[in-house]
Structure 1
Amino acid sequence: MQTPFIQNHQFNFIQKQADFLLKTLRSVVDRKVLETVRYTVGTNAVGSFNELTPDEKELLEQLSTYDTPHDVQLYMNQLEEYLIPFPEVSAKQIQKLFPKAKKLKLPDLESMDYAHTTYLRWIDIATSRLFIVYPHEGKFLGIEGRITATNKKGYCMFCHRHQELGFFNVKMKGHSADNFASIGQYVCMDNKACNDSITDITMLEKFLFSTVK
């Protein structure tokens, strides 16, 4: 069995590099340009990791060697074996993260695609609340807030893709028990689309961690 070393957002980033390579192969005939793109694609894939073993680095650099959509797809399928899945989480664990949420509506954990999940999120339509569960330092962080559909498309703060947006507003404790503040951002309304698009967790973590200070 292969040792997983690729997180979902890194896999999405590599997929973007693969798409860029295929687009170039279809539209560019200049050999120098092609070689430059190949070098860039391989360098970008490797650069999305802080540490790699020699074998892992070699595997990522292979992306730049393919010439057809079929070969690239086979390569991406191979990379699936190296995905680090989202840590399995139970309904009981989730309920403990949101003790104030009465009659908490849980996501369908059995059908969840753990391999392609960067952060677990679901919307309770009845209460217009977005719930987020995020793994951090061996524990789970739970964030909830009201989400209001904008009925407009724009750039999601978390995945930076042009998606249908909602305004996500999270209340935070202030300097005293009776003092509250709030923080809000525009994020995807589509849970799966956001996880399928996210290529960098910097802004996601910045937002999540700021809500628990």
Structure 2
Amino acid sequence: MQTPFIQNYQLNVIKKQADFLLKTMRSVADRKVLATVRETAVMNVIEAFNDLTAEQKSLLEQLSTYEATHDLEKYLEQLDVYVIPFPKVSLKQIQKLFPKAKKLKTPNLEVIDYTHTTYLRWTDIATNRLYIVYPHQDRLVGIEGQITSMNKKGFCMFCNRHRELGFFNVKIKASGSPDNIASVGQYICIDHEECNHSIADTAPLEKFISSVGK
């Protein structure tokens, strides 16, 4: 078996292109059009990766070879063994990331689907505090802020999908402010699982992390 080389967000890209291909196969009979769509789907997948071995590229190019829905779905399931899982974190690591959080509520680390996680996130319902853990620049970083449900749908800053939104507000140090505190906020998915299953580019997430100075 190959060494895992696919990040969760890249797997989401593959699934998105596979879904696009399936919809086209169901609605288009023209073989030339289908051939073009297959080539485009593979190209979009390959572009999500920086460096690929010949074997890895060959595996990804198999996306364009399937005719039946169940064969394509089986192919996607088999890709899980090539996914680099989110690094497992311990309770002590999480507590170290949020030293100022009193009575820190933590998720059940034993039931997290690390394979399909791009960023770890949970909410303390009692306080509406949202916590994010993300491997950024070779280290784990933690972000804490207030999450407020907007009771409306819109585009999530992290995954760019149309979802139920919450406003995530993070307090940061700001030397130009009278009280040395400023806020940085973004609209993000209320449902963290939907977000992790949709995110296809980590740039917006990493930009936000950089903006809060973590």
* Alignment partner, residue 174 of structure 1: 174
* Alignment partner, residue 198 of structure 2: 197
* Alignment partner, residue 36 of structure 1: 36
Work out whether residues 136 and 206 of structure 2, in 8 Å CA contact, stay in contact via their aligned partners in 1.
no
C-alpha displacement of 1:212: 1.1
Separation in structure 1 between the aligned mates of residue 174 and residue 3 of structure 2, nearest angstrom: 44
Q: Mind listing any 5+ residue stretches in structure 1 that lack a counterpart?
A: none
Is 1:11–2:11 an aligned residue pair?
A: yes
Residue type of the alignment partner of 2:55: D
C-alpha displacement of 1:74: 1.2
Cα displacement string for residues 148-195 of structure 1 (whole angstroms, at most 9, x for unaligned residues): 101111111001111111000001111279411111010011111110
Question: Aligned residues: percent identity?
Answer: 66
Cα displacement string for residues 113-146 of structure 1 (whole angstroms, at most 9, x for unaligned residues): 0000000000111111110000123311000100
SS of the aligned residue for 1:25 comes to: helix
SS of the aligned residue for 1:105 comes to: coil
* Alignment partner, residue 48 of structure 2: 48
Work out whether residues 170 and 185 of structure 2, in 8 Å CA contact, stay in contact via their aligned partners in 1.
yes
Q: Mind listing any 5+ residue stretches in structure 2 that lack a counterpart?
A: none
Separation in structure 2 between the aligned mates of residue 45 and residue 61 of structure 1, nearest angstrom: 9
* Alignment partner, residue 91 of structure 2: 91
SS of the aligned residue for 1:14 comes to: helix
Q: TM-score, normalised by structure 2?
A: 0.97
* Alignment partner, residue 151 of structure 1: 151
Work out whether residues 145 and 168 of structure 2, in 8 Å CA contact, stay in contact via their aligned partners in 1.
yes
Cα displacement string for residues 97-117 of structure 1 (whole angstroms, at most 9, x for unaligned residues): 111100000011000000000
Work out whether residues 152 and 164 of structure 2, in 8 Å CA contact, stay in contact via their aligned partners in 1.
yes
SS of the aligned residue for 1:209 comes to: helix
Residue type of the alignment partner of 1:183: V
Q: TM-score, normalised by structure 1?
A: 0.97
* Alignment partner, residue 102 of structure 1: 102
